Each structure stands twice: as structure tokens, then as C-alpha cells.
Amino acid sequence: MKNLTVIAHPLVQHNLTRLRDQRTQPQEFRRLLGEIASLMIYEATRSFSLKKVSVRTPLETTAGSKLEREIVLVPVLRAGLGMLNPILEIIPHARVGFIGLKREESTLIAHFYHKSLPKELGRCEVILIDPMLATGGSAVAALDFLKEQGAKRIRLVSLVSAPEGIARVRKSYPVLPIFTAAIDRQLNKVGYILPGLGDAGDRLFGT
Ligand code: PRP
Ligand code: URA
């Protein structure tokens, strides 16, 4: 599928398997999710544009490169928080927005409870971060909001994706770049990803 990248790096897949393991406790879960986020962000930022600059070394002036656009990271609360700090370690100059969304258990409809975004999104590269893409309702709601707020260049980083969620995002955003570590089999009757890793927010925070 166009603009859908499955990050098959052995370290990502090794850590993902440990995240899936029901015996993995929150402390370890946080560490593993952080390591995966760091690895995924290399792939997710690979196509960012550079502009040419000149740089003066202690010896002479030479040609160099600079990122063309500012980067804005937008984790979806809560589970996206588990990927934020490790990514900030790699992109410390990024600005950060937050979107709070909670799926209602009975309807699986995601409701906003928090929105805060940096200004001038239109001139930035925006990375939407959420470990789970299940029905796709949360991702589409977040993407619609980012668009409304002027974002023009958005990519989605999602650790585990269901085919249903990818299809839903694709319906609204046919060419949006999506980076994931796994496309799982399907959703169960209550909207959880199979085989998945359970409730990412609960496992991350020990709720
Ligand atoms: C989880 C997950 C995603 C969403 C995915 O969040 O972190 O945001 O579900 O499901 P969807 O694709 O069907 O919308 P949840 O709403 O459970 O909130 P939480 O992170 O606070 O647990
Ligand atoms: N949210 C999760 O945290 N896990 C799922 O499997 C689906 C939605």
C-alpha cells in the first residue's frame, strides 16, 4: 500500500515481541516502548527535506545541510506519551502538541478531552504519535483536528496497527505516510487488536 511503511528492523521486532508478552510489567513496558520509538523515528523522518547551508569549520567554509522545516511532535494521550520522551532525545529541538482522546468502550467512538498545539503548524512537519491504530477513529479524529489547525505535512507513527484502522485512515487520508512496526490480524468484538498487546495505556501506566 502506498506510503505505508512496516518497520521490520530486527531490534524493533525483538522489542515488540517483548511488549506483546503479557508478563511484561509497566516498568519494562515503558523502557521497551521507548527503545522502539527511538528506532521508529529514524525511519519516520528519513524523507524530511534538507536545505543547503554553509558552515564555517575551524579550518574553512564548507557546504552543509539543515532541516528545511520545524518539527512538531503530537502524542495522543495517554499511550502516545510513552513514545514522546525517547523521540525528544533524538529531536530535542522539536515542539510538542498534545491531543487527549478517549475511546468510549461501548461505542468505540473517541472523544476529545484535551487539545493544545503549537502555532503555525502549516510550515512544520507534524508527527502524530500513537502506539495503537485499532478502529482508526482516534487517528482520524486527531488528523482532522490537525488539518483544521492548518497542518499540511503530517505523518503517523503507530506501533501496532489493525487492517481496519489502516483502511479507515486511508479512506480519509489516501496518501498520508504511515509508519508501523506491525499490521496485526484483526480487531476483536470489543475493538481490541488481535493478537495486539492489550490496552497500551493501561500496560504503560499500570492502570
Ligand atoms: C487507545 C490507543 C489509541 C486508541 C486506538 O487509547 O492509545 O489512542 O485507543 O483505538 P482506535 O483506533 O479504535 O480509536 P484509549 O482511547 O484507550 O485511551 P488511553 O490511551 O488513555 O488508554
Ligand atoms: N487501544 C489499545 O490500547 N489497544 C487495542 O488493542 C486497541 C485500542
Instruction: Please give the pLDDT value at position 75.
Output: 98
The CA–CA distances, whole Å, from 119 to 15, 171, 202 equal 35, 28, 31
pLDDT digits (tens, 9 = 90+) for 58-76: 999 999 999 999 999 999 9
Output the residue whose Cα is nearest ligand 2's atom 7: 192
CA 23/CA 132 separation, integer angstroms: 19
Sign of CA dihedral 182, 188, 131, 108: positive
Q: Which residues pair with 129 in a beta bridge?
A: 75, 157
Residue type, 13: Q
Instruction: Please give the pLDDT value at position 172.
Output: 98
131 CA closest ligand 2 atom index: 3
C-alpha 184 to ligand 2 mean position (Å): 12
pTM > 0.95: yes or no:
yes
Is the CATH number of domain 4-47+70-205 3.40.50.2020? yes
Instruction: Please give the pLDDT value at position 2.
Output: 87
| Ligand 2 contacts CB of residue 98 (under 6 A) | no
Instruction: Please give the pLDDT value at position 200.
Output: 97
* pLDDT < 70 regions, the chain: none
21 part of the active site: no
* Domain definitions of the chain by residue range: 4-47+70-205
